[in-house]
Structure 1
Amino acid sequence: MLNSLQNPFSLLGRALIALLFIPAGFGKIAGFAGTAGYIASKGVPMPEVAAAIAIAVELGLGLLLLVGFQTRWAALGIAIFTAVITFIFHAYWSVPVEQVMMQKQAFFKNIAVVGGLLTIVAWGAGAWSVDAKFKG
């Protein structure tokens, strides 16, 4: 029975993961100055460039993931981005004690998302994707 659900589950899984990134990319465009300021507050050099990269990854690669085009590469790019930013923005080991629980939860949520993305890298988008349409 689960094999018959593989394609809808693949699409749903891609959509749910993309839902984390696409709205965040739009939010960064709408609040670009605030995003760059927050990035700068974490000590990241060239915060405007970093914000533009974040938008490209979250919005651009997020949309590719959603429709299933160049899916493995899109998922890999988002996974690398997420892994890197997790250590910068959710460093729970270096925050005040009252922030540890929230940052630790965000850290491990992001690590789990990286795991989901790596699964997509390994298995691809599934049959309900642009990749599958071009392959066949």
Structure 2
Amino acid sequence: MNLSMIERGQALWRPVEATLRALQAPAQLAARLYVGSVFFRSGLTKLRDWDITLALFQDEYHVPLLPPDVAAVAGTTGELVLPVLLVMGLAGRFAAAGLSVVNVVAAISLTDIAAAALTQHQFWGSLLLALVLWGSGAWSADAWLRRRLSPSA
């Protein structure tokens, strides 16, 4: 393989890489919107009938180390506050990490979780992990604040 073949390969790859780089911000936004909506809707469901929510935390969800009423308040609060932060991309890594905890606790708290439900939790967890690792992206309040507060801007 000679150098010109490598250079041609690199030249062919550059626009692909540029396109992939350009798709990062919309992909991060899509992940934030999708995961945020899942958890926010779950929190709203819990608020609709608080007595049923308390009963579920008493009988179905066995959250380790927390009394059921405390777990219900903490879980519902997390499902309502963290998704808003995540969707805005404000403290995005914090919100994604917090929702990761909510996600893991939800998955392990159900004594009999269906395989399809577990797969959903794993998918949400993978999206949240990506947001923790790579951040909220260029289309986020975090990025806007960085640009705004940067001394070089």
The equivalent position to 1:104 in structure 2, one of 111, 115, 127, is: 115
CA distance in 2 between counterparts of 1:76 and 1:86 reads 15
The equivalent position to 1:75 in structure 2, one of 96, 107, 115, is: 96
Deviations 1:41-67 (A, max 9, x none): 034553222111111111100110010
Instruction: Tell me whether 1:33 sits opposite 2:51 in the alignment.
Output: yes
Instruction: Tell me whether 1:11 sits opposite 2:22 in the alignment.
Output: no
Gaps of 5+ in 1: 93-102
Deviations 1:11-61 (A, max 9, x none): 111101111111111121121110110110034553222111111111100
- Give TM-score, length-normalised by structure 2: 0.76
Gaps of 5+ in 2: 1-18, 148-153
Q: CA separation of 1:38/1:107 partners in 2, compared to 1, >3 Å: closer, same or farther? A: same
Give the share of equivalent positions with the same residue, in percent: 30
Counterpart for residue 9 of structure 2? none
Letter in 2 for 1:10: Q
> Could you tell which deviates more after superposition, 107-116 or 65-74?
107-116
Counterpart for residue 127 of structure 1? 138
CA distance in 2 between counterparts of 1:90 and 1:66 reads 30
> Could you tell which deviates more after superposition, 47-56 or 58-67?
47-56
What is the deviation of 1:6?
1.7
CA distance in 1 between counterparts of 2:111 and 2:79 reads 17
How many residues matched?
126
Counterpart for residue 63 of structure 1? 84
CA distance in 2 between counterparts of 1:90 and 1:69 reads 34
Counterpart for residue 96 of structure 1? none
Counterpart for residue 50 of structure 1? 71
Contact 1:90-1:104 within 8 A present in 2 as well: no
What RMSD in Å do the two structures reach over aligned CA positions?
1.5
Q: CA separation of 1:90/1:19 partners in 2, compared to 1, >3 Å: closer, same or farther? A: farther
Question: Tell me, what secondary structure is at the counterpart of 1:91?
Answer: coil
Contact 1:58-1:78 within 8 A present in 2 as well: yes
